[in-house]
Amino acid sequence: MIDVRGLRKSFGKNLVLDGVDLQVEQGDVVAVIGPSGSGKSTLLRCLNLLEEPDGGTITINDVTVNPPRYTAKEAHALRQQTAMVFQSYNLFRNKTALQNVTEALVVGKKMPRKEADETGRRLLTRVGLSEDTIQQYPITLSGGQQQRVSIARALAVRPKAILLDEPTSALDPELVNEVLAVIRTLAQEHTTMVIVTHEMAFAAEVADRVVFMDGGSVVEAGPPSQVLAAPRHERTRRFLRELG
């Protein structure tokens, strides 16, 4: 489903992705872990060209781009394949929960309003929001509710894969589990996901593969039983030890 080869990205003199390879099978959940600054967010942002890679190849579903040379049409086609969930939710503040989910359907996909509303309600119910919560503005919702709206919004465009960048890191501890529960359900339904997370127990539970990054490179990748339970590399061991 996702095949990334030799992805490179620098910010000025700062080499942030140093030839990253990433493969994700359809229906799999891949957890990306690693220290702060190791390039995890940049990797996700390169997958939908929120950042412009300097080199490498990105294939998602049946779309391939070869940075730094790609057309606007190719970029558009690649972006259509994924949807992103951010740490900070990034909801439209002036739209209700329902409008946040239906916006891309009505404006982007030209779906009739009534059909978009039905889809939005169904998705927001699926992530556990009540009927009255659906009509509220983000500011009146808890962080956990906002992030669940953000996940519903990502699902609405029926992406081939969902990219989640530390989806629970901004949440108060008591709200983390309600968001993890939604992601767990998506994983059980074989939604293809790449999730950057510091929740190691969760990664061990839901991930089919774990990718450990350090200094812009993939140090180690494999099933959680290897990378988390029996890491081969000292850097992975040190990282896990320091997490406690």
Interaction site with ligand ADP (CB under 6 A): 11, 14, 16, 34, 36-42
Judged by the rule CB under 5 A, the positions of this chain that interact with Mg ion are 40-41
Which of the choices Mg ion, ligand ADP, none does residue 36 contact, using the CB cut-off of 5 to 8 A by kind? ligand ADP
For residue 54, how far is the Cα from the chain centroid? 21
Residue 14 or 94: the one with the smaller Cβ distance to ligand ADP is 14
Least separation in angstroms between CB 233 and ligand ADP = 17
Shortest distance (Å) from residue 111 CB to ligand ADP: 33
Partner that binds at residue 39, options ligand ADP, Mg ion, none, CB closer than 5 to 8 Å by kind: ligand ADP
Q: Which is nearer to ligand ADP, 36 or 71 (CB)?
A: 36
Residue 124 near residue 150 (C-beta atoms within 8 A): no
Minimal distance in Å, beta carbon 81 to ligand ADP?
21
Q: Please say which residue, 38 or 192, places its beta carbon nearer to Mg ion.
A: 38
Q: Which does 147 bind (CB under 5 to 8 A by kind): Mg ion, ligand ADP, none?
A: none
Of 138 and 216, CB closest to ligand ADP: 216
Least distance from ligand ADP to the Cβ atom of residue 67, Å:
16
Cα–Cα distances in angstroms (integers) from residue 206 to residues 10, 28, 181, 223, in the given order: 32, 9, 11, 11
**Closer to ligand ADP by Cβ: residue 27 or 35:** 35
What's the min distance (Å) between Cβ of 144 and Mg ion? 20
Q: Which does 37 bind (CB under 5 to 8 A by kind): Mg ion, ligand ADP, none?
A: ligand ADP
Q: In what order do the strands lie in the sheet with 63-65?
A: 14-24, 2-11, 55-60, 63-65
Residue type, 20: V
Do residues 170 and 143 make contact, with C-beta atoms less than 8 angstroms apart? yes
CA 237 to chain CA centroid, Å, is 25
Q: Name the DSSP class of 230.
A: S
Cβ-based neighbours of 35, under 8 Å, separated by 6 or more = 214, 239
Neighbour-count burial of 216, counting CB atoms closer than 10 A to its CB (0-12 exposed, 13-18 middle, 19+ buried): buried
Give the Cα separation of 195 and 201 in Å (integer): 13
Which residue, 86 or 154, has its beta carbon nearer to Mg ion?
86
What is the bridge-based pairing of β-strands 29-33 and 55-60?
A: unpaired
Residue 39 CB, shortest distance to Mg ion, in Å, is 8
